[in-house]
Amino acid sequence: MKWISPDRKIILIILGTLLASQLIYFHINVTSFKTSYLAAVRSNLNTVGNSLRINLEDILQKGVSIQKFFGLKALLRKIISETQEISFIAIHDLSGNLLYYCDQQSFYPEAGQSGQPPENPGDGQTGDFRISFPLTGKDSRPQGVLMLGIDPERINRHVHEIALDTGTIILISILAILDFLFFMVAWTFTIPVQQASFEIREVTTNGALDASITRTHIDFLDVLIRYFEKIHREFSKKWKKIIQLSSPLFLLQPETNRNSERMKSLASSVISMISRFGWNRNGPDQAIRVSSSSLIRPALFLFVFSESLSISFLPIFAGQLYRPMPYLSRDIAMGLPISSFMLLVTISLPMGGYLAEKIGHRKSFLLGAVISAAGLLLSGMAETILSLVVYRAIAGFGFGTVFMTAQMFIIQQTTADNRAEGMAIFLSAFYGGTLCGSAIGGMLSDRIGFRLLFLIGAAIAVSSTLFLMFISSGTSAKRVSKPETGSSRTSFIQNLVTLFSDRNFSALVFFQSIPNKICLIGFIYYIAPLFLESLGSRQSDIGRYIMLYSLVMIIFSQGIAKWTDRFPSPKPFIFRGGLFSGIALLPCYFFPGVFWIALGIVLLGFSHAFSVSNQVKLASQLPSVNQAGLGPGLGIYRQAERIGNVLAPVLSGALISRFGYTGSLALIGAYTAVSSILFVMVFADKKENKD
């Protein structure tokens, strides 16, 4: 592991320990739940069985033979229907012969029934799944045995649900801790060590004799730094004496002295050596500062988490608020809150970039988080579908502001050499927050309801700003270089004309970016929650299915992006990703089931891992984008692709009202696949900027 950096070793050790402990916890939790749940069921069935035993013994006490009970069918069926944990009720005589038997489907003996009774009900079940009660008649004489069977499938189903919930929580905790871990390692280890190393390099390379080294607060490193400063001070004192002794040589400067060439050369060498070192090299206002894009990870993670809590149930919540309205069907109305959110995200993106430049990242992030929290708070109190649309728009404006502020922070903290790594950090925090929020929201909505989750999201959005205190307002961020073409003086309208008159830019936007967004938002955020609910999925299961997209993106997107960077053109990967995005939805039309919806979500995530990052890469290579300026050009591209975000929910709602869930998915899938084919046909390779 010599090639692994120290900070990564720390992270791997902590994560390995965490994973091992979580797996042990998983085993203990599931085993403990199964034991305690079975004990609780047995206790409940003991109560039910004793009540039934008392009723039967009352009959036996009156001299009625155990073989001549009448009217048991209605009584036993009622008990089984009211107590779902019971799989069967059986009554045996003292010889073990079955006299009466009842389960969910059958009863023995039916009136006029002939044939053999069921053999050994409960066979194959352990004693833990059967409870027996002796039946006594007159004079407390034994008459038979009452047996209740516990439904093992129901027990296993509950254990399976708890195992899924526990596994989901473990995954979420690891992803959440990973973001906070990167932050803590950067804040307590990486940045202090880099700060000290840069200052030592300043001393050794540029010869700053009066420089001081910032302490790392890591004991053994600070000991070495103090030892270095001690040697440095001693060297400085001796160097001062050398300068004093060699000062007469300054009179031998080549341009003023007429002595021999040898003396001139000696004087020049000494002067060059002396000038190698000096004092106040940088000055107090030019101190070296080190920052890291990892510092914004926990703040971004928490903020995205707060908004993602509602992903799995927002259209369902909107459907509950809907009241019949003229010219607005329920299916379309349920998509309006998502559309209004996406529309305001698109509108606020330039504002977020402007605020980040003008008032700083911390203030811009705080402003956006507060606006988003207000939108979430109001969404939780919405009483009508129209008020929810307005409140979601407010949350969207705050979300777009924070989204762009975080991107600007990453860009200004990185250079061209490490910007891809910085954006990978941004995407990791974004998708991590989305995954965890959607899964937790799905599980909690089953237990505490939709409205309270909006309020919790608002509190988390505000708390995300607490981590911004670690981001200095005076950061030494490197500003993005201005385009050499002078595009800053070019109007927005002129840039629009320049970009959309380019055949390749238009093909990328209209045949790839927008269709992919319609496919993503329409399927993942709108149709999938409604479709899964109609198939009987629990809200927690819906949250887990939706999180699969983010999980695939987190696992595969960075590795696939690095692999595709080896090839000269991203166009083939964009085409294949778009084509398979559409194909991923088609099986849901032929096999309308939960498995195929979940598989479609996974395949869509895998397809987007190929196409999404390469779309931005291809856009940055287009001559029209560089002509407009890389910043403005990509900004317009980002806004244009979000047209798909806004259209997707309304379009999906209109399709559902006409073609149903399966038909809508088939049409969206076919549209995405055909658009990808049109992209290949329209996009002209010769216009790609290969440089």
Residues 417, 367 contacting (CB under 8 angstroms): no
Q: Going along 194-289, which residue ranges are E strands?
A: none
Q: Going along 180-303, which residue ranges are E strands?
A: none
Residue recorded with tokens 């959607």: 438
> What is 6-112+120-157's CATH number, 3.30.450, 3.30.420, 2.40.10, 3.30.1420?
3.30.450
3-state secondary structure 33-94: HHHHHHHHHHHHHHHHHHHHHHHHHHHHHCCCCHHHCCCHHHHHHHHHHHCCCEEEEEEEEC
β-bridge mates for residue 133, sequence order: 146
Protein fold of 291-476: Growth Hormone; Chain: A; (1.20.1250)
Region at 649 (left for phi over 0; alpha for psi -120 to 50; beta for the rest): alpha
The CA radius of gyration of the chain, in Å to the nearest whole number, is 35
**Per-residue DSSP letter, 475:** -
Taking the CA atoms of 664, 665, 671 and 675 in sequence, report the sign of the dihedral they define.
positive
Tell me how far apart the alpha carbons of residues 397 and 345 are, in angstroms, rounded to a whole number. 5
Among candidates 240, 188, 241, which has minimal Cα distance to 216?
188
Tell me how far apart the alpha carbons of residues 581 and 600 are, in angstroms, rounded to a whole number. 9
**All residues at 6 or more sequence positions from 416 whose CB lies less than 8 Å from its CB, including other chains:** none
Residues 668, 485 contacting (CB under 8 angstroms): no
Residues 411, 422 contacting (CB under 8 angstroms): yes
Tell me how far apart the alpha carbons of residues 641 and 351 are, in angstroms, rounded to a whole number. 17
**All residues at 6 or more sequence positions from 649 whose CB lies less than 8 Å from its CB, including other chains:** 315, 334, 335, 336, 337, 338, 339, 342, 521, 522, 525, 526
Tell me how far apart the alpha carbons of residues 554 and 519 are, in angstroms, rounded to a whole number. 19
What is the predicted pLDDT for the residue at 518? 92
CA distances from 450 to 456, 546, 607, 622 (A): 10, 17, 31, 45
CATH 1.20.1250.20 domain residues, the chain:
291-476, 499-691
What is the predicted pLDDT for the residue at 282? 45
Domain 499-691: CATH architecture, name and number where available: Up-down Bundle (1.20)
Residues 382, 348 contacting (CB under 8 angstroms): no
**pTM of this prediction?**
0.67
Intervals of the chain under pLDDT 70: 1-8, 111-127, 186-187, 202-212, 215-217, 219, 232, 239-240, 242-294, 414-424, 470-490, 630-631, 686-691
- Other Cβ atoms less than 10 A from the Cβ of 256: the count is 8
CA distances from 398 to 204, 244, 339, 364, 402 (A): 47, 64, 15, 10, 6
**Per-residue DSSP letter, 487:** G
CATH 3.30.450 domain residues, the chain:
6-112+120-157
Tell me how far apart the alpha carbons of residues 399 and 346 are, in angstroms, rounded to a whole number. 10
How many Å is the maximal CA-CA distance in the chain? 142
- CA angle 643/407/641 to nearest 5° reads 15
Terminal Cα distance for the chain, rounded: 37
β-bridge mates for residue 93, sequence order: 144
Element (H, E) at 107: strand 107-108
What is the predicted pLDDT for the residue at 689? 44
Tell me how far apart the alpha carbons of residues 326 and 343 are, in angstroms, rounded to a whole number. 23
**Each residue of 464-489: b (16+ CB within 10 Å) or e?**
bbebbebbeeebebeeeeebeeebee
